[in-house]
Amino acid sequence: MKTIRFITLTLLFVIAVNAISFGQKDKAADKIKYNTWSATLSGGSMLFYGDLRQFDFYPVTIKNSKDWYGVTDGISEYDKGLSLKVGKQLSPIFGIQGMLEKGAVNGMKKYVDAHFSATFITYGFNIKVNFLPIFNPLLKSPKFVLYGIAGLGLCDFKSQEWTISSNTLINSYGYGDFGGPKKATTEIIVPVGLGIKYKINKHFDIGLESTINNLNSDKLDSRVRANTAKDKYGYTALTLTYNIGKNDKSLEWVTSKEMEADQLTPLFNAINKKIDSLGNKLNELDNKVAQVQKDVADLKNPAKEADDDNDGVPNSKDLEPNTPAGNLVNFQGITIPKAGTGVAEMKPQFSIFFTVNSSYIDALNEEKIAAAAKMLKEDPNLKFEVVGHADKTGGQVYNELLSKRRAQAVCDDLIKSYGIDAGRLTVVGKGINEPLSSDILSVNRRVDFIIKK
């Protein structure tokens, strides 16, 4: 029978969790990942409240009872117990717990010459209510939680009553004395209580909890009398809770204000992602327009522009029209000085260009890197500052990283493919800070070589 009752209570607990969770499915707590399960272990003092209790609020301990009746055995109204609770948090305010409690209680009454001792196991479930989110919904990141509990369960107990003076057995339940059944007596129990917890970290809490467990019976002290109050016992204990899960936050420690912020975060992320996507599409469209404009210009001017000094730069763009044969020039046709010129730092000498959101070096740009490697090998004292740039699409922080990644890709190629000493190269990322053009974005996706002595 006890097994059937335990299974029934367990099923009721599971049904309650699922029913309340289903009702909460449209709330923010189910959309955002929080830890909702927990396990709590507690241990502390148990005190009986009923017929065999010397005083209502003051527990009595007699180390030597001969002061009362001449006998020498000791009696104490203090005892101890342990409890295990498994909880499911349904919202920042409400939770449900399955509980298993084991303990013992004692009591005595001098003028009736009687005392008793009982052991029991209690099992059932509790509803838990956090008060702080109710009283202060704007509270952020609390370290303390004040809560109340109320529940329903069953208590299996065995109890014996003796005289104090002669230690003679008066009555019992669960031991088979006086022809009674030799099995635990089971009664309904209703626990109510308060607790406070302190958050140590995202997984562990400690606290103090006190409950009054109301038994639907007058048998716990083995003393049944007509028109007397039903028995109860108090349990005051230290608690240690482990919040189960891999998420950073537990639902019990999240306030309404924090939940609103967490709910908006995915929305902001989605908006930013959409903006980035639109920016990429606009950038692709800009590239296509630029390519069409170039193709139209090529159709209008099919003849190749003249290059009188044969330095590879057409006359219309050549700022040094009479470059001596064999000189290495930059994109404006200006001779790139070699070692020994005494120039401390030069402006950009030539550039490598990249496609959108890329640090890939294509075959055309590989030839420019080979030219830079040739310069470095011809002059052992020569050093380059390799400066990366990006266009204005995308965020500033991302573009700074992208520009540095482009410069690093060029340096890695010089080091791995051409054997250039890394100490002769300095990587710099300028992001969008030094554009060549405000209209043609493709020329801003580049890496410049700056000669430094």
408/414 Cα distance (integer angstroms): 10
Confidence (pLDDT) at 318: 66
198/295 Cα distance (integer angstroms): 71
* pLDDT one digit per residue (tens) for the chain, 453 residues: 555 555 555 555 555 545 444 444 434 344 568 899 999 999 999 999 999 998 887 888 877 655 555 554 678 888 999 999 999 999 888 999 999 999 999 999 988 889 999 999 999 999 999 998 888 877 777 889 999 999 999 999 999 999 988 889 999 999 988 878 889 999 999 999 999 999 999 899 999 999 999 999 999 999 988 888 899 999 999 999 999 999 888 888 887 666 666 665 565 566 667 777 777 777 777 777 777 766 666 555 555 567 777 766 677 666 677 777 666 666 566 666 554 444 334 444 678 889 888 888 888 788 888 888 988 888 888 888 999 999 988 788 888 888 999 999 999 999 999 999 999 999 999 988 888 888 888 888 999 988 875
Q: Name 126's Cβ contacts closer than 8 Å, sequence gap at least 6.
A: 85, 96, 97, 99, 149, 150, 151, 191
Strand partners, 380: none
- Is domain 2-254 in CATH 2.40.160.20, yes or no? yes
Confidence (pLDDT) at 346: 45
Residue matched to tokens 């550039």:
351
Q: What CATH number was assigned to the domain covering residues 336-452?
A: 3.30.1330.60
Buried b (16+ CB within 10 A) or exposed e, 203-225: eebebebebebbbebbbbbbbee
82/100 Cα distance (integer angstroms): 9
381/333 Cα distance (integer angstroms): 24
Decide: pTM greater than 0.75: no
Which value, to the nearest 10 degrees, does the dihedral of the CA atoms of residues 242, 244, 247, 253 take?
A: -50
169/75 Cα distance (integer angstroms): 15
The answer to whether 216 and 191 have CB atoms below 8 angstroms apart is no
Confidence (pLDDT) at 153: 95
The answer to whether 83 and 39 have CB atoms below 8 angstroms apart is no
Confidence (pLDDT) at 339: 44
